[in-house]
C-alpha cells in the first residue's frame, strides 16, 4: 500500500480524517498509520469486538446490524467530544453514502474543524485478492468472511466520492 500519499496529513487541532472505501481497500491500514502519528482512531468494528465479542460466536450474526448501529452511536458520542476538544481524529469507517459523509463533514466544519476525506479506491480484482487473504482470519477488523456475492452487494451500494467532495484519492492497484 502506498502510505507516502498520506504523509501530508498532520494531527493538527480540529483535523478529522474520514476514511472512505470498500472492504479490503486498506482503510484500517491507513487509519492505524495515522493513529501512530497522533490521530485518535475510532472504529465501529473494534467497538463491536470489544463490547460484544465475535460475530456468530459471542453474538448471533443476525444481531450484527443492530450492534453496528449501537456501536456507531456510541462512537459518535466519543467523536462529538473529540471535535469539541479539537482533538485530531481519524474515523476508520467506510463512509459509503454521500449523505453520511456530508452529515459528518457539516458537523466538523460547524465546530470549526477541518475534514480530509481519504478515499481508498481499489479495483474489484485487488479487493477480491485482499479479501481472500483477510477471510482466512477473524479479528476485530475481519469479523466475518466477505464472499464474492457480498462484495458485489457492497460495490453496488457504494457511492463513490465526487469531485465536489475534494477527496484525497489513494489508488490501490496492488
Residue 141: pLDDT band with limits 50, 70, 90: low
Averaged pLDDT for residues 43-61: 85
The answer, yes or no, to whether residue 167 has pLDDT greater than 90, is: no
Is 90 exceeded by the pLDDT of residue 55? Answer: no
Q: Is 146 exposed, middle or buried (0-12, 13-18, 19+ CB in 10 A)?
A: buried
Tell me, what's the pLDDT at 124? 75
pLDDT tens track for 74-117 = 999 999 999 999 999 999 998 989 999 999 999 999 999 999 99
Within a 10 A sphere around the Cβ of 73, how many other Cβ atoms?
11
Percent of the chain exceeding pLDDT 70 equals 83
How does residue 7 score in pLDDT terms, banded at 50, 70 and 90?
A: confident
The pLDDT, as a whole number, for residue 143 is 55
**pLDDT at residue 18, rounded to an integer:** 97
Predicted pLDDT at 122: 80
Tally of CB atoms within 10 A around 37: 14
Question: Would you list the domain boundaries of the chain?
Answer: 11-172
Check whether domain 11-172 has CATH 3.40.50.300, yes or no = yes
Top pLDDT among 106 and 1 is at: 106
CA dihedral 150, 29, 104, 49 (to 10 degrees): 70
Question: pLDDT band for position 138 (50/70/90)?
Answer: low
Q: What is the pLDDT of residue 43?
A: 94
Stronger pLDDT, 91 or 4, i.e. the higher one: 91
Q: Is pLDDT larger for residue 173 or for residue 118?
A: 118
Q: What are 56-64's contacts with CB under 8 Å, separation 24+?
A: 56/144, 61/144, 64/144
Burial of 104 (0-12, 13-18, 19+ CB in 10 A): buried
> What's the pTM?
0.84
Mean pLDDT over 7-26 rounds to 88
Amino acid at each position: 500500500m502506498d502510505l507516502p500519499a498520506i504523509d501530508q496529513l498532520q494531527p493538527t487541532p480540529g483535523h478529522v480524517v474520514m476514511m472512505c472505501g470498500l472492504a479490503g481497500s486498506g482503510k484500517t491500514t491507513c487509519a492505524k498509520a495515522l493513529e501512530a502519528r497522533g490521530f485518535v482512531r475510532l472504529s465501529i468494528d473494534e467497538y463491536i469486538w470489544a463490547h460484544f465479542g465475535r460475530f456468530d460466536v459471542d453474538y448471533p450474526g443476525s444481531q450484527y446490524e443492530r450492534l453496528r448501529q449501537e456501536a456507531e452511536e456510541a462512537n459518535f458520542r466519543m467523536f462529538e467530544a473529540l471535535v469539541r476538544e479539537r482533538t485530531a481524529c481519524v474515523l476508520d469507517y467506510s463512509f459509503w453514502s454521500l449523505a453520511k459523509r456530508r452529515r459528518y463533514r457539516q458537523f466538523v466544519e460547524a465546530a470549526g474543524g477541518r475534514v480530509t476525506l481519504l478515499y481508498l479506491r481499489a479495483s474489484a480484482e485487488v479487493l477480491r485478492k485482499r479479501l481472500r487473504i483477510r477471510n482466512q482470519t477473524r479479528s476485530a477488523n475481519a469479523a466475518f468472511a466477505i464472499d464474492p456475492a457480498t462484495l458485489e452487494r457492497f460495490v453496488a451500494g457504494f457511492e463513490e466520492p465526487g469531485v465536489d467532495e475534494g477527496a484525497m484519492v489513494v489508488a490501490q492497484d496492488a
